[in-house]
């Protein structure tokens, strides 16, 4: 339909050089509960309203909306316009996918393609939500409500698997499990903890206790109960194990004590117990309601706490690394340097799962993702060994891998590696690096690009509500500027080579903090606060090599038959 602006143009008859603008107003309505006739009527009404409002006003409204988005969300990389452009392309994909999702969730491809059939995965919580939580928290809340509204189906699913609590579907479009392959689907129980984790990060960032107490806590209780019935204490009661699970890495499935799953389940159990106990102390009437509707008892909270404390975290004393699972280090190593394997990527399209599963070979970061999300108590030396050991085994066949590897490499000072992985994530779809961008944009990786900038190079962290910044500015970047909305205040963080500056730029008068910046505690207000210090990412490629040598001697690399 041509709009008034188009009609305002003096149409020619194909004359060359004539400037012409055609406009089209399109209306889209969708609902699961309304008839097609009603939807058609709503579409017509919307179009009529748009015509009345007019093109210029619509465009101005849109520009204003996007202006607000960029003001609160932009990340600025000075001196690198090509990177800047690519960064903004990624952030734009994120807001396109989430702004109008309301409580329908954010699918893996947003609305950009038919890949994954429009289904939602854990990607939303672990990769897309951090960006939303810290820049557009209301959209993050919408996405979390999407999970909250799914609790009835998740309860039913847990029963189907003979478990207590709730099990969120590995892939879904309507709340029911849609994965046809349990080994790389249902067994990825970590999705429960991923959702609980994203919920808590949202709560710490926003202080939105209203959502937590009225709805979020039901997610915490259900997921904690699930992990209690999935795992078990060994006879001594000192070790809580979780068996037959699949971690984020789908090239190893149905294993015992996956590092990632166990650290995330520990977080889940702790958070559920802490929130419930805090409710009991500070909001006894809300706790009573929770107890009435869920049958929650104090004994149960004690049990969660005991399980979290007893959670078994696999660690190999000899190699001084965290095995991905109990049996991982006993497997053969896949020689990814074999030139015959190069063209056979992703492996999953060229090898039978039984072949892939027999080897130490990763589709994507697994222990390394665990170290990023829940590695605060792991010494840097161990992290370096972990990172290096898994680095050479990781194919990156999943688009979820590079951005995580970049973050942890930046934290550990593996400068070139951090930048390499960052660029792989940044240009994933712009350069169609995985050859499948036609199926849609990898929304999770777009979120990972923001995370790599803010958590990786920016060094921003939230440790149970305590925020810290410890930047690792890439070589050749003059500055890095990003925004995080904390407790309703938009804090602008500017990392320069020798200082970090923080300032509340939106949200009114107020204070945020203390925030630990390069080891120094500061309180942030509407006037800039500046902390001097070396922000540059220190190159420690030697450390990478040394950690590599240390792990190299332990096992031989084998070559898989072609």
What is the contact surface with its own copies in residues (CB under 8 A)?
A: 160-164, 182-183, 186-187, 229, 232, 235, 241, 243-244, 253-254, 256, 326-327, 330-332, 351-355, 357-358, 555-556, 558, 560-562
Nearer to its own copies, 65 or 232 (CB): 232
CB atoms within 10 A of CB 5: 15
Minimum gap (Å) between residue 232 Cβ and its own copies: 5
Closer CB to its own copies, 51 or 331, in the complex: 331
Q: Closer CB to its own copies, residue 16 or residue 562?
A: 562
Residue placing its CB nearer to its own copies in the complex, 30 or 236: 236
What distance in Å separates the CA atoms of residue 413 and residue 522, rounded to the nearest whole number? 25
Q: Confirm if 54 and 4 have CB atoms less than 8 A apart.
A: yes
What dihedral do alpha carbons 336, 339, 342, 348 form, nearest 10°?
A: -60
Q: How far is the CB of 314 from its own copies (least distance, A)?
A: 12
Q: How far is the CB of 265 from its own copies (least distance, A)?
A: 15
Smallest separation (angstroms) from its own copies to the CB of 270: 23
Q: Are 186 and 162 in contact (CB under 8 A)?
A: no
Q: Return the number of other C-beta atoms located less than 10 Å from residue 217's C-beta.
A: 25
Q: Which two tokens stand for residue 144?
A: 């979390």
CB of 329 to its own copies, least distance (A): 11
Q: Which conformational region is residue 136 in: left (phi greater than 0), alpha (psi within -120 to 50 degrees), or beta?
A: beta
The rounded distance, in Å, linking the Cα atoms of 13 and 20 is 11
Torsion of the alpha carbons at 338, 343, 347 and 350, rounded to the nearest 10: -110
CB of residue 70 vs its own copies: minimum separation in angstroms? 45
d(C-alpha 388, C-alpha 542), whole Å = 11
Cβ proximity of 263 and 312 under 8 Å: no
Phi/psi of residue 169, nearest 5 degrees: -70, 145
As to burial, measured by CB atoms within 10 angstroms (0-12 exposed, 13-18 middle, 19+ buried), residue 427 is middle
Residue 250 falls in the annotated catalytic set: yes
- Nearest CB to its own copies, comparing residues 28 and 232: 232
Closer residue to its own copies (CB): 377 or 561: 561
- Closest to its own copies by CB, 96 vs 555, is 555
Q: CA torsion sign, 169 to 174 to 176 to 178?
A: negative
**Cβ(404)–Cβ(372) under 8 Å?**
yes
Using DSSP's 3-state secondary structure scheme, residue 467 falls into strand
CB of 274 to its own copies, least distance (A): 26
Give me the catalytic one of 250, 300, 411, 496. Answer: 250
User: Hey, which residues are catalytic here?
Assistant: 250
């Amino acid at each position: 339909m041509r709009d008034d602006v188009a009609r305002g143009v003096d149409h020619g008859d194909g004359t060359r050089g004539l400037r012409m603008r055609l406009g089209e107003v399109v209306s889209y309505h969708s609902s699961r509960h309304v008839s097609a006739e009603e939807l058609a009527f709503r579409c017509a009404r919307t179009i009529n309203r748009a015509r009345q409002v007019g093109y210029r006003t619509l465009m101005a409204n849109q520009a204003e909306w996007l202006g607000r988005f960029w003001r609160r969300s932009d990340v600025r990389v000075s001196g690198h316009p090509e990177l800047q452009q690519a960064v903004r392309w990624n952030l734009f994909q994120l807001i396109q996918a989430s702004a109008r999702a309301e409580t329908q969730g954010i699918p893996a491809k947003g609305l950009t393609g038919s890949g994954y059939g429009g289904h939602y995965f854990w990607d939303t919580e672990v990769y897309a939500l951090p960006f939303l939580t810290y820049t557009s928290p209301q959209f993050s809340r919408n996405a979390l409500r999407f999970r909250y509204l799914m609790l009835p189906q998740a309860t039913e699913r847990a029963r189907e698997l003979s478990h207590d609590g709730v099990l969120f579907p590995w892939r879904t479009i309507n709340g029911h499990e849609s994965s046809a392959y349990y080994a790389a689907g249902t067994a990825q129980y970590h999705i429960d903890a991923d959702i609980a984790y994203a919920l808590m990060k949202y709560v710490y960032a926003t202080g939105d206790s209203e959502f937590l107490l009225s709805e979020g806590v039901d997610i915490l209780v259900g997921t904690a109960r699930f992990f209690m019935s999935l795992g078990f204490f060994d006879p001594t009661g000192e070790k809580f194990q979780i068996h037959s699970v699949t971690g984020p890495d789908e090239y190893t499935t149905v294993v015992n004590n996956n590092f990632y799953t166990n650290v995330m389940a520990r977080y889940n159990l702790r958070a559920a117990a802490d929130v419930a106990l805090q409710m009991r102390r500070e909001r006894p009437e809300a706790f009573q309601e929770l107890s009435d509707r869920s049958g929650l008892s104090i004994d149960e909270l004690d049990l969660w706490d005991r399980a979290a404390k007893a959670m078994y975290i696999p660690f190999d004393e000899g190699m001084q690394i965290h095995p991905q699972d109990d049996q991982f280090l006993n497997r053969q190593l896949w020689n990814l340097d074999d030139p015959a394997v190069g063209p056979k990527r992703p492996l999953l399209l060229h090898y039978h799962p039984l072949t892939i599963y027999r080897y130490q070979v990763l589709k994507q970061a697994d222990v390394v993702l665990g170290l990023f999300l829940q590695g605060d108590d792991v010494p840097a030396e161990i992290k370096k060994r972990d990172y290096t050991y898994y680095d050479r085994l990781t194919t990156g066949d999943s688009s979820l891998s590079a951005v995580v590897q970049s973050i942890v490499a930046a934290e550990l000072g593996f400068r070139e590696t951090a930048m390499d992985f960052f660029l792989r994530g940044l240009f994933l779809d712009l350069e169609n690096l995985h050859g499948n961008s036609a199926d849609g944009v990898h929304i999770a990786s777009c979120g990972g690009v923001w995370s790599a900038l803010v958590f990786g190079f920016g060094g921003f962290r939230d440790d149970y509500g305590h925020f810290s910044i410890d930047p690792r500015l890439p070589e050749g970047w003059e500055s890095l500027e990003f925004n995080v909305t904390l407790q309703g205040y938009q804090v602008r963080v500017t990392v320069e080579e020798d200082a970090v500056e923080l300032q509340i730029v939106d949200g009114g008068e107020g204070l945020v903090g203390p925030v630990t910046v390069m080891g120094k505690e500061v309180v942030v207000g509407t006037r800039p606060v500046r902390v001097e210090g070396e922000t540059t990412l220190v190159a420690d490629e030697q450390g990478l090599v040394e950690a590599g040598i240390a792990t190299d001697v332990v096992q031989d690399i084998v070559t898989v038959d072609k």
